[in-house]
Amino acid sequence: MMWQPIMEKVRSRLQSWKGNLLSFGGRITLIKSVLVNLPVYYMSLFSMPKSIADMINKCISSFLWNVKADRGIHWIKWDMVCGPKSHGGLGFFDVKVRNRALLNKWIWRFSEDTESLWKKIIVAKYNYDPLAILPKGISARSSNGLWKEIVCSVISNEEDFLLDVRCVMGNGVRIDFWSDFWTGVRSLKEAFPRIYGLVTNKQGKISEFGSWVNGLWSWNIELRRELFSWEIPSWNRFNQVINSGVSTFPGVDSLKWSGASNGIYNSRDFCIKLASAGKLQDPLWYKVWNKFAPPKVAAFVWKAMYSRLPVASELMKRGVNASVQPLCLFCKEHQEDVSHVLCHCSVVWQVWQRWCYLWRVRIIFPIDVRQLLQVWSSQFIRRKVRNLWHLGFFGLIWQIWLCRNKSRFNGASFTVDQLFNLVLLQVGFWGNVLWPTLVPQVLDFVRCPDAIIFGCG
Ligand SMILES: [Zn+2]
């Protein structure tokens, strides 16, 4: 089967890594590299069947969540995982989306490659108008083949890529007057059926309906009869619409894609557009994927933002590990859920407050991790140590989680003091690596963080 090599490639590259030896952040990086290196050759010539795309996606998702032989949990839906980080995704795209993006390119090439051999062959084979700017649909009866597959998949695909492609009149010799999308309406024929019924010329390019006279475009549209007075308003509206599409000077006809600011189609922007459809852009995600938190910690916070972590309540919800101890191991009072163990727990909240007290900052008791990050990001902190404050969020949440794991799996227990010192050590360590002039000594930071936070600078 044609797609076998691609599936094998994905599988073997992912299997060559023992998923459980890599952190979640490491697995994200590896998936990106596998997806980027998929053979573009196949992807840009053939429409990938849904079954193949599903299999590849499942394989990648299983690797991401370390699910083996169907044992394990895909914590966040594949649809949410894929997509730009600004919209809550992990910054990679579904293979099918990428496949569509590459196939769409052919539509662009069709309009631009006027002289190339492939274009001539296609035009001859499908009996296209050699001047046409867009390939028209191919009837199911016409012979099958590569091009048919490409055009059919572009024309029939549910996102309706062509709705975003507009013809821009230059000299009007390549754009179909009645059916191409070159004015404010998708097709003049459909928007003005009465007028279409009255004209003598029912097909042809824009240039057959007018000409340049002294540098100005002038229409010459013949009607079969005089207009009745009640038809005049419609005729005027028709003229208004066609005038809106007229170019200011006789250049070359071209296509414009509304998905890119420069109007030129590119597959990356198409993937982003498709993968972010129906999702909200939230600047908070930029706070998660910042420049300083280690990738695995950022990835952890990403999961925490969705409240999807293997805590007791979530595991029980999914029917895993029925024997799991349901109580939080810090306070041993409340059921362990994501918000509780990362912020609401009386022990944990004291640690957050201790950090804030250090900075002379007061924060509200948050609903969840998401709101905590929001509140965190909105604090006014002087520029010099602002990043250190932000790093604190990651140091806190990460150490709380590590200690939670040590309590759960190794029977350890922690006091507020111990937790807080671990946080200082963590932030001091990261801070020292990132900004050695700001945090020259890790232990100095642990002993006397005030000196840096309110230091002489
Ligand atoms: Zn607790």
Q: Mind listing the pLDDT tens digit for each residue in 238-279?
A: 999 999 999 988 889 999 999 999 999 999 999 999 888 888
Q: Give residue 347 CA to ligand 1 midpoint distance, Å.
A: 6
pTM of the model: 0.85
Per-residue model confidence (pLDDT) at position 140: 52
Q: Give residue 23 CA to ligand 1 midpoint distance, Å.
A: 26
Q: Give residue 452 CA to ligand 1 midpoint distance, Å.
A: 31
Q: Give residue 325 CA to ligand 1 midpoint distance, Å.
A: 13
- Kindly report, residue by residue over 3-60, the tens digit of the pLDDT: 888 888 888 888 777 666 788 888 998 898 888 888 788 888 888 888 989 989 988 9
Q: Give residue 305 CA to ligand 1 midpoint distance, Å.
A: 19
Sequence letter at residue 323: S
Q: Give residue 356 CA to ligand 1 midpoint distance, Å.
A: 20
What Cα–Cα distance (Å) separates residue 21 from each residue in 9, 16, 27, 58, 301? 20, 11, 9, 20, 20
Crossing angle of the two packed helices 369-377 and 295-305, in degrees rounded to 10: 120
457 has pLDDT over 50: no
Structural contact between residues 239 and 218, judged by C-beta atoms closer than 8 angstroms = no
Q: Give residue 335 CA to ligand 1 midpoint distance, Å.
A: 7
182 has pLDDT over 70: yes
Residue 297 half-sphere exposure toward CB, CA atoms < 13 A? 22
Per-residue model confidence (pLDDT) at position 4: 85
User: 86: which DSSP letter?
Assistant: G
